[in-house]
Chain A
Amino acid sequence: MTDWRPLATVAQLQYRAQLLGLVRGFFAERQIVEVQTPVLTQHSVTEADVQSIRVEDYGYLQTSPEYQLKRLLAAGMPSCYQLGPAFRHGEQGRLHNPEFTMLEWYRLDFDHLQLMFEVADLVDKVLGPQPYQRLTYAELVGPVDRRPRDELDLAFADACASLSPGRFFITDYPADQASLARLNSDGTSAARFELVVDGVEIANGYWELTDVDEQRRRFDRDNATRQARGLPRMALDEAFLQALAAGLPNCAGVALGFDRLAMLAMGANDLNQTLAFRGT
């Protein structure tokens, strides 16, 4: 029972196109450069909870353009963004698809708090203005100490889903969830934020780590976690590490799930209403 027809209606897809234009207009107004980096790359992320789709003979479909955008910034590119496909192995559901559209942008001389304001401006433009509340990670999921990571992840997912309708910035992530963010001056929390809109995780941002030695240590730690879980080790992206060594300027960056934002803009609750097709 193959159904050839698209998942979303033609009107929904036209609306999606309008939103893509709106987003590009937002960045054009602010003189943020649109860049395109490869989707098919030799290296991919080390993170133990993000699985890349392997492409025989070539490498991987990228899970985010992060490493490549940072290489551009290190080479002198001003604030820039990429709007295009990203891929995650095994993520499929109402709010997930292995192929999705990611909007990722970097702002020179911003920290994560300044970038939160810009994220709010963009979201206001797409969804209409609304107030934003700020919650720390611990306020959202409760005390973090000595709770295993999987328990925290589940508590986080449950807490996000049960937040009242509205827009929430979650900040002050535990240091071991810093990913590619620098640590706050307290040394125990990460300069990282996420935006949750009506219970749906929309965006994840960092005040970017620029210390190449710390970055390499985190990659090694990721690979140790991978090994412990029986996942393949990922070869380190040395080009990215070299760019950090050459000097990544002070910047903040954020990745935003465009499909989810479009879904919310339509008042929908399933990505199907924003997608032409699910390819797999």
Chain B
Amino acid sequence: MATYSTNEFRSGMKVMLDGDPCNILENEFVKPGKGQAFNRVKMRNLMNGRVWERTFKSGESIEAADVIDLDMEYLYSDGEFWHFMKTDDSYEQVAAGSAAIAECQNWLKEQDVYQVTLWNDDPIAVTAPNFVELEVTETDPGLKGDTANGGTKPATLSTGATIKGVPLFINIGDVLKVDTRTGEYVSRAKT
């Protein structure tokens, strides 16, 4: 089993902590001049997204986590699993459970490419690209001529997600560019 010693810690490194894979965010070397050395480490638990801070004695080792991020195309959902396919022409597929896709469920569109985090080859998280383009399925009728000023309204997208801050001129059937990090309207997609 691969392990990392504290002096190898780097941000972005994937390690096991309390049975869960974690991503090291920050690593600070701490040592009083005449005292023992420590590493104070901030890491994100990849299973639940929580950020932990831990202090290790320098020289301690922790187990490496077999975690990789892959770009994969979303194919379909069978209601229980969400199926993704590798983009390397291998046609290999993985099935992600509802916990893994929870963060990006609002932005999942078939044939779009997502980042799938695999732990021991199991998908544990799916991350949407920063921007996605989705079709409006429901919104109040558009107001002609209102292209600049004026108010906004909510709109429901093809994924079922509702976003706010949509300009009044948007109609059902329009395709919108959405920032997945904030869940906000960016623009009307160029078609």
| Chain A contacts to B: CB under 8 angstroms | 47, 49-50, 90-96, 149-150, 152-154, 156-157, 160-161, 177, 179, 194, 201, 204
Binds A, one of B23-31, B91-99, B171-179: B23-31
Q: Is the CB of A91 within 8 A of B29?
A: yes
Instruction: A50 to B36: give the CA distance in the assembly, Å.
Output: 8
Shortest distance between the CB of A47 and any CB in chain B (Å) = 7
Q: Is the CB of A90 within 8 A of B33?
A: no
Shortest distance between the CB of A208 and any CB in chain B (Å) = 15
Which residues of B have CB within 8 Å of A92? 7, 29
Kindly name the residue among A50, A93, A161, A204 whose own CB sees the greatest number of chain B CB atoms within 10 A.
Answer: A93
Cross-interface CB contact of A201 among B7, B32, B38, cutoff 8 Å: B32
Task: Check if B79 is an interface residue, CB within 8 A of chain A.
Answer: no
Task: Check if B58 is an interface residue, CB within 8 A of chain A.
Answer: yes
Pick 14 A–B contacts, CB within 8 A, sort by A. A47-B34, A49-B35, A49-B36, A49-B37, A90-B7, A91-B29, A91-B31, A94-B28, A149-B35, A150-B36, A156-B32, A157-B32, A177-B34, A177-B35
Q: Is the CB of B36 within 8 A of A153?
A: yes
Instruction: A47 to B28: give the CA distance in the assembly, Å.
Output: 23
Q: B7-32 CB contact bits vs A (8 Å, 1 = yes)? A: 10000000000000000000011111
Instruction: A47 to B36: give the CA distance in the assembly, Å.
Output: 11
Cross-interface CB contact of A93 among B29, B34, B55, cutoff 8 Å: B29
Instruction: A157 to B30: give the CA distance in the assembly, Å.
Output: 7
Known: A49-B37, A156-B35, A157-B32; 14 extra A-B contacts, CB below 8 A, are: A49-B36, A50-B34, A90-B7, A93-B28, A94-B28, A96-B29, A154-B30, A154-B38, A157-B31, A157-B38, A177-B35, A179-B34, A194-B33, A201-B33
